[in-house]
Amino acid sequence: MLAQYRYTVLALAAILGFAPVTGQALSTDREKPIVIEAAAAEADNRTQITVYRGDVIITQGSLRITGDTVWIHYDDSHSITKAISVGKPAKFRQLPDGNQDYTTADAERMEYHADQDLILLLGNARYGEGKDKISAPRIVYDSRRGRVKAGAQPSDGQSVESAAGESDKSDRVRITITPKKK
């Protein structure tokens, strides 16, 4: 069981790549210990899922992820395949190198899909760097391509683009860009 938690902690390093859209995470964060706090933890070798429940807090250096429940899915080689954090809201924050402002994200559900380097913020999603913010029902960050898509939650078989076209104002994307001081 202890070995399983060790692999899960190693897999969490992939979450720590939950990188900001611009800039890199604080380079010294990866050298810091990973600390996971929760009311309960359960590892299931058969399903290859570890679940942390109850006010989950994951920290490593400047990185902090919180949620009510966090699931870590891994494969036979103990590499992470998917990580999910849910909460009211689930939150992420990290200080990028050379920045004084934290990169932050929160949503009802955050998903990291390792095979696609894809991060989904679902349900009242917000992402920010300093005073610059984006909010939408859904934000998708493709870290492999450096692309961000924001829009309404697609219903069954409906794309983000078509869902956004039929939405009301609560489904709209809102972006705030603060001018830089001269």
**Per-residue model confidence (pLDDT) at position 54:** 97
Q: Which residue has the higher pLDDT, 14 or 177?
A: 177
Q: pLDDT tens digit string along 135-149?
A: 999 999 887 787 888
**What pTM did the predictor assign?**
0.73
Residue entry with tokens 């969490």: 12
Q: State whether the Cα torsion 41-109-14-18 is positive or negative.
A: negative
CB contact at 8 A, 130 and 124: no
**Per-residue model confidence (pLDDT) at position 161:** 39
**Per-residue model confidence (pLDDT) at position 44:** 94
Average pLDDT over residues 120-132: 90
Number of H helices, E strands in the chain: 2, 10
Which CATH fold topology does 2-131 show? lipopolysaccharide transport protein A fold (2.60.450)
Quickly state the pLDDT bin for 14 (edges 50, 70, 90): very low
